[in-house]
Homo-oligomer: A and B are copies of this chain.
């Protein structure tokens, strides 16, 4: 079910009221707030309002805190960061002891994927808009996660031969040759980088479909837990 709070003049409390209704609805097992929210809405307040058992996006601060902390066990992992680790694992790429560079530090991808890689024992550097020479840092990396939202910023010469490159950027660039007038590109210059990387996951087609799968997986887990709780308490 989709609740639309995008109308002008919609306030924090309007959104939180919708979230509360979904929290109380036992037929709903997962709540996803489509981010980013308009600037006048307090994102932290809205996300904190989601019942932790229904936070299938994994963006509740309590889930992020548990994700960050050693020994912490979040109920749900954020989907795109979870994908990145799944892609590495399914490609047989070990993480432990590797140098990983995450480009970007958003709450949705950059930050949680840095935390997950650290938990998986990589040596993690997070570069961002204030980093003076990202190129020299990326050149050292065995694993690169590009999540800066800057079309094709990462060039072939920045890549250590054999590195694994996961592109999470999704940017629309003008393309008059297309009917739509634009095409989607990632943060990585695929043509150049694919010549040096050992593994590369492109945009579109790489992480995107995986994210949807992970979201459904989290929602299914949530529904199962809900049924378990009902059985435990003898509820129908």
Interface residues of A, Cβ cutoff 8 Å to B? 43-44, 60-73, 96-97, 105-107, 111, 115, 118, 121-128, 130-132, 137
Q: Which residues of B contact A115 (CB under 8 A)?
A: 68
- Inter-chain contacts of A111 with B (CB < 8 A): 68-70
In Å, the complex CA distance between A131 and B96 comes to 8
Measured in the bound complex, the distance between the Cα atoms of B137 and A131 in whole Å is 16
Chain B residues whose C-beta falls within 8 Å of the C-beta of A105 in the assembled complex: 70, 118
**Bound: A194/B73 CA distance, A:** 40
Query: Which residues of B are found within 8 Å of A96, using beta-carbon distances?
Result: 130
Q: Out of B66, B127, B137, name the residue touching A65 (CB < 8 Å).
A: B66
Contact A123 B118 (CB under 8 A): no
Cβ-defined contact, B97 with A130, below 8 A: yes
Q: Is the CB of A132 within 8 A of B65?
A: no
Interchain Cβ contacts under 8 Å between A and B, 25 examples: A44-B69, A44-B71, A44-B72, A60-B65, A61-B62, A61-B65, A62-B62, A63-B65, A64-B64, A64-B65, A65-B65, A65-B66, A65-B68, A68-B115, A70-B105, A96-B130, A97-B130, A97-B131, A97-B132, A105-B118, A118-B126, A118-B128, A123-B126, A123-B130, A123-B137
